[in-house]
Each structure stands twice: as C-alpha cells, then as structure tokens.
Amino acid sequence: MTQILNNISYTRLYRWTMGWFTFTTLILVFLLSACQEEYDAEVSNGELISISASADALVLEQVDYSNSAITFNWTTGSNQGTGASISYVFEIDKAGNDFASAKVYDFGKQVYEKSLTVEDLNDMVTELWGVLPGESLNLEARVTAKVADESVEDDVSSVVSFSVQTYKPVSESLYIVGDATSAGWNIADAIEMTGDDEEPWIFTYEGQLSPGNFKFPVSTDECWCQDFYTQNPDDAELMVYNEGGSGDDVQWEVLEGSPYVVTVNLLDLTISIEKQVGPAYTELYIVGDASLSGWNIGSPEAFTQDADDPFVFTYEGPLNTGNLKFSTYQGDWCDGDWFVASQDNQTLDATDYVINQGCNGNDCKWVVTDETAGRYLITINLFDNTVKFEKVMLYLIGDGGPNGWNIGTPEPFTYSNGVYTFNGELGADNAEGEFKISKFKGDWCNGDWINAATESQSLSNTSYIITHGCDGPDNKWKLSSGDAGTYEITIDLDNEVMAITKQ
C-alpha cells in the first residue's frame, strides 16, 4: 500500500512540474513575440535615421584611459513597411574628408549605440590620421541604416561633429639600469620593472640595490640615445623625461646596499624609493656527502653573507660525487629550515629551490656526478629565491706568462683532487715579467684574484692573498734574471698551500 501511495505522489509531482514548465515556456514565447512585434513596428513606422553625440569637444588625458570618452546614439530608422531587418554601419573620419579614410564599424541588427574609451579614441586619432600628441582634430561621425530588402535604399544620417585633443601615452615598458643594479651599465641587460594592471603608468622594481647609481630606460635597445627617466636636479623625489637621451643625465644614488622597492609614476613624474627589511635568515650551511660537511648537521660548512647585500650568501669549496642540500642552522635534523631541490637528484644547472620547515616536506637533493665534480662557488639569493652553482677555475695572467695580460682568454690551470696545476713557460716573452692568478675571465674587476703577498714578490715566496675585483693591493710575482724557464705551479685553496717549481 505504501509503495502505491508513493507512486501516486511521484506521478502527481511529475505532472505538476511538466505543466508549470509548459506554462512558463508559453509565457516566454509570448513576451519574445511581443518584443519582436514592437521592434517591427518601430522600424516600419520610424522616421529617417538620426545620430547624436554625448560631447562636442574633448581634451583626452591618459589618467582617464579606460573611461568612456564619447558615446554616440542613433534612432532605429525605417524599413519603409517592408518588414525587412535593418543593420547599422557606424563611421568616424576627420572633418571635410567625406569619410574617405573613415574608421568603420559594421554592427549588424538592433545596435543603437557606440562608445569609445579615452585610450581607443586617442589611438585612433594619432594612428589613423597622424595627429601629434597635444594637437587637436575636428571629426565627424555618421551612421547608415541598411535594409535587408533591396527595394529600400540605404538611409544615411546627418553628420555629427566634435573635436579631440590628444595626449602622448607613456611608455608601455620601463627598465632600471646602473651600477647600483645587478645589470650594471649594460643596457641590454637592464632589468624590466613590473607595470600596474590598473594604472599602467606606474612601474615597480623590487630587488637588491648596491652602492652606486641608476636611472630608467624605456627599452633594452643598445643605444644610450633612447628615452630615459632621470632625476630632477631640484628634487630627488621627482623625475625628468629625457626624450632621445637629451637633457641632464642626473641619476639616483644608492649609499647603502639593501633590498629596495622603487615605484615610479610616469604621469606625474614622481618616484618613491623605500629601503626594505633584511632577509629571513642570517646563516646558511651546506650539508651532504658531496660536500666537506658530509652528513654532519652538528658542524656543517658555513656560507658567507655578503656585506653589501645581506640577501646574498656564498660558499666556495670542492663538491665530490654525491648529494647535497642547505640548512639554516646547525644542531638536530628537524630544528630549523631546509633549502632543498624541487626534485630529487636535481642537477647543478637548476636555479630553483624549495624551503621546508624542519622535517616536513620533500627531502630532495642536488646531485654531483663524476662529470660535474669540482670546486664550485655557490650563490644563494634569498630575495629572488635562486641558487647558482659556478665551477671555479684558475688562470695565469701577466707578461711573465704565456698569454700576457689577456683577461679575456687567459691561460687556464687544470684541476684534480682539490689541486690546481699550471705547467708551462714563464719568462719566454719577458724574462723579467710579472704574473698573478685570477679566478675568472672576462673583465678586470669581475671576480677574485690570487695576488702575491708583497709587491714584486720573488718566485721562491709562495705566500698569497685573495683580493676582490679591483680593490687591490695589486701585488704580483716578478721574474728575476735567470728565472725564465718551464714551471709547475700548484695551488690547494682548501689548505691554502701554493708551490712554484722550476722543471
């Protein structure tokens, strides 16, 4: 009995639902038909088409770029009682041109309005008719009603006139360059700033700035004749737009290295330079059987924090076949944070890492193979969250060696089992020449040097110092009379031992 009652209830519910659906559908069809009849009556009985504009004189400004500049409205026009549909074509051209070079919009049916934003109208006037920024142009607009019935001629509205004064848009991109940035004064490597989605004239740089200077080019084109934004000589919080590199080249100066947020507004030519707080960690360590630390978390090898950029940590030492990761502490395994690879056995050319708290998360590590083993400089940047592994090589530089003072392609040492070795002639081209040893090649000030401990030091004295860039002292070993010949020079950087042996 219960089952029968349930079946009856379900049947009644189904019939009621279907009845309501059918009733609603009929109502909608009736309303749509009424709307169509009303539309047909309008286009059948309407007058000739006419057009109006919401403004007759416009001064465009980029700050309003996304706002509506002008709106055009037109009437339906008439199909002369044919019952045929009407489509609409809207045109804009400069005054007196008889719409010969018009911007044309083909809208189709039942469209009676066209709005143009400030940006669209400015682009149209400057690009289509070549109007220079700041100049004005008189324009005309009209609309044509095209009846689908060929027996009815097209109906063209009278012309509505208006004027437009244009503006010059600010650059869509902006870069920062200078010796205060990691790009230096190499404009091809200038760092792109981040534009604001809502206010595209605002750009931001977030990153490290070192003691030095900077300014803002609009591109990375390798020409200093391009447009720049430089400091206003009278106010460091204001900028000057130097078109084509013209004007005074006044730059902003950074006195203290630190992460900064630099925000510029290209419309009101203002700049904000805000120094940021320091990094989240003050200590980093290397751990793993690929390093000198082994898996000893109690006393791992430490990184060195950069004095000018506290977000940058460096470690130099041998990496053997095995695995490694980085800790922010020494003690017990789960007491601090870990910098681990994003995938297990990650190669040394990958630059990303993941931070795990204690023993949570993955335990992926970097891998050092037989082919990639060697001495490395490891740089971790906590600001942009990158790690870089660079193999360390040594080079002989000087007129006492076989390659002279050629820092671009200097004479390399070989590396094996932690020892660098040079075998070759000294004094062949200059019997009383000098030499020193670099840990890089390229430009003179781009890396570390192994200098003699004293000026014009003899080959029998193997004491040395490490200097950075061009900071000096620029001491060298000097050959004396009778020193020329074939030599073996070995350097063990881990144990700070050097030998110079004549063969």
What digits encode the pLDDT tens for the residues 306-352? Answer: 988 889 999 999 999 999 999 999 988 988 889 999 999 999 999 98
Q: Which of these, 279, 321, 322, lies nearest to 303 by C-alpha position? A: 279
The pair of three-digit structure tokens given for residue 227, joined into one six-digit string = 């447009």
244 phi/psi in degrees, rounded to 5: 65, 25
Q: Which CATH number fits domain 175-275: 3.40.50.1100, 1.10.3720.10, 3.20.20.100, 2.60.40.3620?
A: 2.60.40.3620
Enumerate the β-bridge partners of residue 457.
477
Q: Which of these, 210, 182, 206, 185, lies nearest to 194 by C-alpha position? A: 206
In contact, 258 and 242? CB cutoff 8 Å: no
Q: CA distances (Å), 105 to each of 90, 102, 128, in order?
A: 5, 10, 14
Enumerate the β-bridge partners of residue 323.
367
What residue has token string 């001064």? 59
CA angle (313 as vertex; 310, 318 as ends), nearest 5: 165
Number of residues that make up the chain: 503
C-alpha to C-alpha distance for 442 and 177, rounded to whole angstroms: 20
Residues 268-297 have a mean pLDDT of 94
Radius of gyration of the chain (CA): 38
Report the percent of the chain where pLDDT is more than 70: 91
In contact, 271 and 238? CB cutoff 8 Å: yes
Q: What is the pLDDT of residue 1?
A: 40
* End-to-end Cα, the chain, rounded Å: 114
What residue has token string 């404009």? 187
Bridge pairing between strands 113-117 and 68-74: antiparallel
The yes-or-no verdict on residue 7 having pLDDT over 70 is no
The domain defined by 285-391 carries CATH number 2.60.40.3620:
yes
Q: Which of 8-17, 148-157, 230-239 is predicted least confidently?
A: 8-17
Residue ranges of the domains in the chain? 1-44, 51-165, 175-275, 285-391, 395-502
**CA-CA-CA-CA torsion for 57, 59, 60, 61, nearest 10 degrees?**
-150
Q: Which helix (H) or strand (E) holds 238?
A: strand 235-242
List of E strands, 298-336: 301-302, 304-305, 312-319, 322-327
Confidence of residue 244 (pLDDT cuts 50, 70, 90): confident
Please determine whether the domains at 51-165 and 285-391 fall in the same fold group of CATH: yes
Give the DSSP letter of residue 189. Answer: G
In contact, 202 and 195? CB cutoff 8 Å: yes
Q: Say if pTM beats, i.e. exceeds, 0.75.
A: no
What CATH number labels 395-502?
2.60.40
C-alpha to C-alpha distance for 154 and 146, rounded to whole angstroms: 5
The domain defined by 51-165 carries CATH number 3.40.50.140:
no
